[in-house]
Amino acid sequence: MLFKNTLKVALTASIFCASAAIAQVNVMLPANPGGGWDGTGRQAFAALNKAGIYTGSVNFSNKGGAGGTIGLAEFARTGKGKEDNLAVFGAITVGAITLNKSPIDLSKFKPVARLTAEYLVLAVSKDSPFNTLKDFVEALKTNPGGTPVGGGSAGGVDHIALALLAQSSGTEVGKLNYIPQASGTETVTGIVNGTLKAGFSGISEFQQFAQSGRIKILGITSDKRMKGLDVPTFKEAGYDVEIANWRGILGSIGMPEENYKKWVENFQKLNDSDAWKQVLKTQGWEQYFLAGQPFGEFIQSESTRINKVLKDAGLAK
């Protein structure tokens, strides 16, 4: 009898191990391929694998549009209660929910981890007459409607950064000509071909184009100059603008507590790993880690802050 019980336990353990070995996580990337959220999700799971923290398979799904609200709506619908369904999202989503009147309630999801922050840069074409941020702002003040500026989704951090720049320089926010783009690459294309006078995006999406000479960066929204990027901050140039695009991970609505705790633990280990530190260095992302319920509290406070900015800027009622 003892032998049979031992054999039964051993077989059960073997089945469990086999199941663990073929475990799969589904990850919603609520943006088009090639953007910041896409990169964050794929780079994070590559680093989890490299560090030996999570080595199972990963099924990525891209569904962009409306500041991530379309992808997150599908994530809410299809992932509810599932054990290992995660989604990438960030600061852009918070404003997009308000502007798109989306029914998404971020507090319903499981707050797994805030991973990175990336400051924004304003860029123009290499042949642009604007050589400083002041040059650009003067043109913006003179003819805001005739100075089209591209960036991410309406109500996202790029849009908010432009609104804050307008407010700081005395430009009417309601007259701005902001044109949302599907990705940072699309914004660069618009800058280069002249359909956009300037564009906002994260450092990681613009720096390679600046290094190749296709665009020139006029300023950055950080509180101090960034190492390896010889451009002034907006504050240095005389404009009271400081804003970052943070990105993080959500668990599905109703994710079992055991799975939720495991993913929080996985991302805590990721944050301390050499593999992730190398990703941060390579991508130019700032380490901005916060996990579990403290991250949930941050999401709530950030929702309040961003919605106030949107209302103050006249972008939302």
pLDDT digits (tens, 9 = 90+) for 88-134: 999 989 998 998 899 999 999 999 999 999 899 999 999 999 999 99
Average pLDDT over residues 5-22: 42
Walk me through the domains of the chain, giving residue ranges and CATH numbers: 23-116+247-302 (3.40.190.150), 119-220 (3.40.190.10)
Token digits of residue 106: 């971020």
Say how far apart CA 191 and CA 140 lie, in whole Å.
15
Residue 156: per-residue pLDDT: 83
Q: How far is CA 126 from CA 25, 188, 212, in A?
A: 43, 11, 10
Whether the CB-CB separation of 162 and 152 falls below 8 Å is answered with no
> Model's pTM, two decimal places?
0.78
Helix residue spans in 128-256 (DSSP H)? 133-142, 157-169, 184-193, 203-211
Q: Is the pLDDT reported for residue 309 higher than 90?
A: no
Give 223's contacts (C-beta < 8 A, 6+ positions apart): 233, 235, 242
What confidence tens digit (pLDDT) does each residue in 39-75 have? Answer: 999 999 999 999 999 999 999 999 998 889 999 999 9
Residue 15: per-residue pLDDT: 39
Residue 12: per-residue pLDDT: 45
Say how far apart CA 310 and CA 162 lie, in whole Å.
11
Looking at every residue in the chain, the average pLDDT score rounds to 90
Q: Is the pLDDT reported for residue 2 higher than 80?
A: no
Neighbours of 94 (CB within 10 A): 25
Residue 3: per-residue pLDDT: 42
Q: Is the pLDDT reported for residue 196 higher than 50?
A: yes
